[in-house]
């Protein structure tokens, strides 16, 4: 078994697509996976499972659909992948980059090489976009993600597959959880 970070896309936003974190952890245990831990209600899961990232995704997606009644796109990375993302933040040390405005986007499949260029063409003047550490990074600046033209559909198209993002504060917290898990 190895440790995976599993990100569920588009759940628990508004009144639809509800996936209680206790139910997500129970689903993992039902699958024979170990030590499921979640962070906040937005679909951040750390779990120990056999196989590789694609196998974990292929097992979990249909299980979630059967249990909750709707499809959920899942992005899976290994714990070492996550450590690389934390180290790769291109906006780290930039005093103008706020933790809640900097987002790491991960695509289900390998990231399209020109994704940042395609998105930058549609971005606001204050938005900065780049690829670093195999992740797509966006600094939304002010006023933030709410005023952005970079929609989920546009992100998916530019990246080449379903994509989900987490702000820098969440990226760091997941990294901290992985570090604590390794010590346990």
Q: Looking at residue 9, which CATH number applies to its domain?
A: 3.30.70.1280
Domain match, 97 and 167 both: yes
- Per-residue pLDDT of 125-160, as tens digits, reads 889 999 999 999 999 998 788 889 999 999 999 999
End of a domain among 81, 110, 144?
81
Question: Do the Cβ atoms of 47 and 33 come closer than 8 Å?
Answer: yes
Total of domains in the chain: 2
Residue 39 sits in the same domain as residue 95: no
The answer on 86 and 76 residing in a single domain is no
DSSP character string of 16-46? BS---HHHHHHHHHHTT-EEEEEETTTTEEE
* End residue of a domain, out of 66, 81, 96: 81
**pTM of the complete model:** 0.94
104-126 pLDDT, tens per residue? 999 999 999 999 999 999 999 88
Q: Are residues 99 and 67 in the same domain?
A: no
Tell me what the pLDDT averaged over the chain comes to.
93
Q: How confident is the model at residue 15 (pLDDT cuts 50, 70, 90)?
A: low
133 in Cβ contact with 84 (< 8 Å): yes
Domain that holds residue 14: 2-81
- For 68-92, b/e burial (b = at least 16 CB within 10 A) is beeebbbbbbbbebbeebbebbbbe
pLDDT of residue 78: 97
């Amino acid at each position: 078994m190895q440790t995976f970070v599993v990100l569920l896309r588009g759940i628990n936003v508004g009144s639809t697509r509800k996936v209680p974190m206790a139910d997500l952890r129970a689903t993992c245990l039902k699958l024979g996976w170990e030590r499921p831990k979640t962070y906040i209600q937005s679909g951040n899961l750390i779990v120990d499972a056999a196989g590789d990232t694609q196998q974990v995704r292929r097992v979990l997606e249909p299980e979630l659909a059967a249990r909750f009644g709707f499809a959920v796109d899942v992005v899976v990375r290994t714990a070492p992948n996550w450590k690389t993302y934390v180290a790769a933040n291109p906006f780290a040390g930039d005093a103008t980059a706020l933790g809640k405005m900097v987002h790491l986007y991960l695509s289900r499949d390998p990231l399209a090489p020109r994704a940042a260029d395609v998105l930058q063409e549609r971005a606001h003047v204050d938005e900065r976009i780049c690829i670093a550490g195999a992740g797509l990074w966006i600094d939304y600046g002010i006023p933030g993600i709410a005023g952005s033209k970079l929609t989920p559909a546009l992100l998916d198209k530019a990246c080449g597959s379903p994509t989900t993002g987490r702000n820098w504060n969440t990226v760091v917290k997941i990294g901290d959880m992985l570090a604590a898990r390794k010590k346990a």
